[in-house]
Amino acid sequence: MNLEFFEQVISQIKEKMDPERYMHTIGVAYTSAALAMNYHYDNVDRAMIAGLLHDIAKCIPNEEKVQICMDNEIILSEAEIENPSLIHAKLGALVAQQDFWIYDVEILDAIRSHTTGEPNMKMLQKIVFVADYIEPNRTDIIPNIDRIQEMAFNDLDLCVLTILGNTLEYLKTKGRTIDPRTQISYDFYKELIDNRDKNKEAK
Ligand code: DGI
Ligand code: FE
Ligand code: FE
């Protein structure tokens, strides 16, 4: 572990974030590390860094988020224009590069996909996506969180599907716009789990 780099990242995120977001970030970092060890992901440090930086763009005011994307020729989807808070995922990948010199594609992809998910995610993307939802400092009230935390360590794909399903359900009850990426990710993992179950039955 490059301790100096970790300490630098931690002190910078603490400066950029409000205390609640900072607590959540530390929670996502250690939960990502725990999941990485659980699934024998080859690089626990990488998981920690991805967890530490996943919400790095969250505390940038929305108008500024849009402006920075325009300045950097980052194309925004309709859903992002309607809900600028969604932008923090792709913008986070840019900030990680520009301010933290992170060029590791696995880390950048994990930051980029952490809010909506993505079909066929790589291990680190799934780890950060799940850690973001289950980390113990989250103040949102999540139904059945104990069961989802347990599932995270036993069946990562099913856990991704469960989280996407809960998110869609939540967005529907709140009447919020659904980003097509969230729906596409759900459909992908639904089919994956359905096929897996069918194959199990056939055996
Ligand atoms: O940044 P965090 O709060 O830690 O977590 P996050 O990046 O997963 O963002 C959570 C919010 O994102 C949550 O309120 C649900 C919302 N979200 C996820 N998918 C969609 C979405 N919001 C809209 N409008 N549409 C989506 O498809
Ligand atoms: Fe986020
Ligand atoms: Fe988060």
- What are the structural domains, with CATH classification, of the chain? 3-202 (1.10.3210.10)
**49 in Cβ contact with 9 (< 8 Å):** yes
> Ligand 1 atom 24: the closest Cα is on which residue?
177
* pLDDT tens figures, 39-80: 999 999 999 999 999 999 999 999 999 999 999 999 999 999
What average pLDDT score do residues 90-101 get?
97
Expressed in angstroms and rounded, the spacing between residue 31 Cα and the centre of ligand 3 is: 12
For ligand 1, say whether the CB of 113 is within 6 Å of any of its atoms: no
pTM beyond 0.95: the answer is: yes
17 class by beta-carbon count within 10 Å (0-12 exposed, 13-18 middle, 19+ buried): middle
**pLDDT at residue 1 greater than cutoff 90:** no
**Ligand 1 binding pocket mutation candidate from 129, 167, 172, 179 (most atoms within 8 A of CB):** 167
What average pLDDT score do residues 99-115 get?
97
Position 202 confidence tier, pLDDT thresholds 50, 70, 90 = confident
